[in-house]
Amino acid sequence: MRESANKCSAANGSARRAVMALSRHDQGRFCSFRRKRRSTRLATVIGSVVALLLSSAGAHAVADGRSSLAAQAVGQQFYALDWNIAGATTHDGNPNQPNNYGSLAVVDRLASFASAWRPSVISVNEACDSQIDYLRERLADAGIQVQAWKFNQTQLSPACVLSGGSYAGNALLSMVPASDPADIYFDEDTGHIVSGRTSRGGACMTLHLTQNVRTCSFHLAQSHPAAVIEAQQFVATYGSDIAAHPYLLLGDFNATPNELLGTMYDPSAGGSGPFYEADMDSPNHGIPTEAGGKLDYAFVSSGHFARNALGTAIVDPGICRVENAFEPPWWVLYPHPCSDHKAIVASVTLGGSGLGNAGSR
């Protein structure tokens, strides 16, 4: 069985190691799945494109309504789109949970959100590297040029291998000029920032807007207390830079606003941290984005962004029709929630007291 698995995953060493992580029973199913999946992928992609074209009239109506603001994306006001797509999740047979395992239907949905809102930056959590490659292609097809991007590898994923990828992680894509890509990783035991790859981290770049904005896409620890410690470690490590320069932090922080209040939120929101949050003036500091409450955020450094110009749209992910990961028949497209998280679109405006150019970091 191992010899067969090695042959069907011979594209690269990472893929072979991920297949070995499967049970012996699933290794054989993986080989059969991969052969069948190659023949069905084109039909799946064509169907997704047709679905997007059918819905494009409504999407463009939304985009056209914001065209004047979107045109200012290289100025002071801009949109940031963030979504945990549950891209490596497998839930065969459970219609109430996402079942993406590296599939493309959820990426098509994300591309449609981007087409509607025309954000300057997109943050993606729980994504396969192959999904981000496909997202860049879909955005280009929609006339959205990704000028810079960073993928933050967190763990080798058998679910990603099922669709030709290797790693799951976080991604940051910029539609404006950007530089200085970097990874952030948190130690799984202490929450401290470390140099080696771990299962939790973030992708960072500096966006070149009217000021340079250091921007990161995070997916913090699943345990709420551990996630708060990781947020505290980031603020403690970069506190002086956050005070001096514009920062935008996006992603799934896996903690509620009440739990993050003292670490992240500005005193004007009842906290003791250095950030505004785009939805902090809603009841309970934000509309829930997941069953556990509000877990997905757009934080901006309070010294560099306008307090009275924050806005958030909460976007329901809808239903994606996908093949099963392991349970046949593979040619049937089953309905699942596209993700267990809602997407957020934050509108933020550079301003505040810190108006000096941030410089390249």
> What count of residues does the chain have?
361
Question: What is the C-alpha to C-alpha distance for residues 220 and 184, in angstroms, rounded to an integer?
Answer: 11
Q: 75 — phi, psi (to 5°)?
A: -105, -135
Give ∠ CA 321-318-295 in degrees, rounded to 5.
120
Give the three-state DSSP class for 20.
Answer: helix
CB 55 within 8 A of CB 33: no
As a 3-state breakdown, the chain gives helix, strand, coil percent values, each rounded to 5, of 35, 30, 35
Strands 247-252 and 212-219: parallel
What dihedral do alpha carbons 316, 318, 320, 324 form, nearest 10°? 80
Give the three-state DSSP class for 80.
Answer: strand
Question: What is the C-alpha to C-alpha distance for residues 304 and 247, in angstroms, rounded to an integer?
Answer: 8
Q: Which two tokens stand for residue 336?
A: 């699942």
Give ∠ CA 183-171-187 in degrees, rounded to 5.
40
- Longest Cα–Cα distance of the chain, Å, equals 63
354, pLDDT greater than 90: no
At 31-88, the pLDDT tens digits run 333 333 333 332 333 333 323 222 222 222 222 223 333 333 333 899 999 999 999 9
Which of these ranges, 133-137, 144-148, 291-295, 354-358, has the smallest mean pLDDT?
354-358
What was the pLDDT predicted at 330? 84
**Band (162; pLDDT cuts 50, 70, 90):** confident
**Band (147; pLDDT cuts 50, 70, 90):** very high
At 248-302, the pLDDT tens digits run 999 999 999 999 999 999 999 999 999 999 999 999 999 999 999 999 999 999 9
Which of these ranges, 16-25, 48-57, 302-311, has the smallest mean pLDDT?
48-57
What was the pLDDT predicted at 76? 84
Give the three-state DSSP class for 261.
Answer: helix
**Band (124; pLDDT cuts 50, 70, 90):** very high
